[in-house]
């Protein structure tokens, strides 16, 4: 069939119009689908803070490992560097980042710490040495040295770990787990090693809690 002659006829033009309408409807439908997908997926923001060498990808309700690590480092820095002069500002800076599940416990612990620092007139500083991300539990361990300086200038130093889980809510960091303790990070690997070499009830309980959190 000579398609050029056919489309020049009345029937051919009607067929061509119908085909064009179907194509237009299909394009409109595909645009709507793409638009809805983009809307429901949410915008992905890529950030490269000055102190980081790698960019962070942040969507409305999720972020990558770099985001969790960097914000864990920020929180550990706030909690670990306290003086009588900045102690009152600590609660104001930390509390907006806390999830309801940890809010009260953290606020109570901060209040006790701030009161003790003012009473003893000491300063605390934290020197981070390592940041560990554990994919299975989504925990970040900020490991370093905590130094407490008294009014007479004497320094007490010990190893300290800040253990956090940082989520994202409306592009903002959201701390759903926060714990600090002396010594090495309680990663699954370290807890398993401790279970093999020691048998205190506290160690077994901590290991069980970590495994439960990983499920």
Whether residues 83 and 131 share a domain: the answer is: yes
> Rounded CA gap, 91 and 86, in Å?
10
How many residues does this entry show for the chain?
215
Q: Does residue 11 register a pLDDT over 50?
A: yes
> Rounded CA gap, 18 and 14, in Å?
6
Q: Within a domain: residue 158?
A: yes
Mean pLDDT of the chain: 76
Q: Does residue 79 register a pLDDT over 70?
A: yes
Q: What is the pLDDT of residues 93-114, one digit of tens each?
A: 888 999 999 999 998 988 898 8
Whether residues 76 and 104 share a domain: the answer is: yes
Identify the band that residue 170 occupies on the pLDDT scale cut at 50, 70 and 90: confident
Provide the CATH number for the domain around residue 58: 3.10.450.230
Whether residues 33 and 75 share a domain: the answer is: no
Q: Token pair of 80, please?
A: 């670990």
Whether residues 176 and 102 share a domain: the answer is: yes
Of the CA atoms within 13 Å of residue 77, those in its CB half-sphere come to 9
Q: What is the pLDDT of residues 18-41, one digit of tens each?
A: 545 544 544 444 444 444 444 345
At 209 the pLDDT is 63
Q: Token pair of 189, please?
A: 């690997």
Q: Does residue 50 register a pLDDT over 60?
A: no
Residue 36 lies in domain: 3-41
- Measuring CA to CA, how many Å separate 208 from each of 5, 23, 90, 188, 215? 80, 60, 32, 10, 11
Residues 6 or more apart in contact with residue 203 via CB below 8 angstroms: 191, 194, 195
Whether residues 94 and 150 share a domain: the answer is: yes
Q: Does residue 16 register a pLDDT over 60?
A: no
């Amino acid at each position: 069939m000579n398609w050029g002659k056919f489309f020049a006829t009345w029937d051919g033009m009607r067929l061509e119009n119908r085909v064009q309408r179907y194509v237009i409807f299909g394009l409109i439908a595909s645009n709507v689908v793409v638009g809805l997908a983009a809307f429901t997926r949410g915008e992905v923001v890529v950030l490269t803070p000055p102190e980081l060498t790698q960019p962070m990808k942040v969507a409305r309700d999720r972020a990558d490992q770099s985001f969790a690590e960097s914000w864990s480092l920020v929180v550990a820095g706030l909690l670990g560097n306290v003086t009588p002069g900045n102690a009152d500002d600590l609660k104001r800076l930390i509390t907006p980042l806390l999830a309801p599940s940890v809010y009260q416990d953290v606020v109570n612990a901060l209040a006790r710490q701030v009161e003790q620092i003012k009473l003893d007139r000491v300063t605390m500083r934290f020197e981070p040495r390592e940041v560990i991300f554990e994919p299975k539990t989504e925990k970040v361990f900020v490991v370093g040295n905590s130094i407490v300086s008294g009014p007479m200038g004497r320094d007490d130093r010990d190893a300290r770990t800040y253990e956090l889980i940082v989520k994202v809510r409306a592009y903002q960091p959201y701390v759903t787990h926060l714990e600090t303790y002396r010594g090495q990070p309680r990663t699954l690997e370290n807890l398993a090693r401790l279970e093999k070499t020691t048998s205190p009830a506290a160690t077994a309980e901590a290991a069980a809690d970590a495994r439960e959190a990983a499920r």
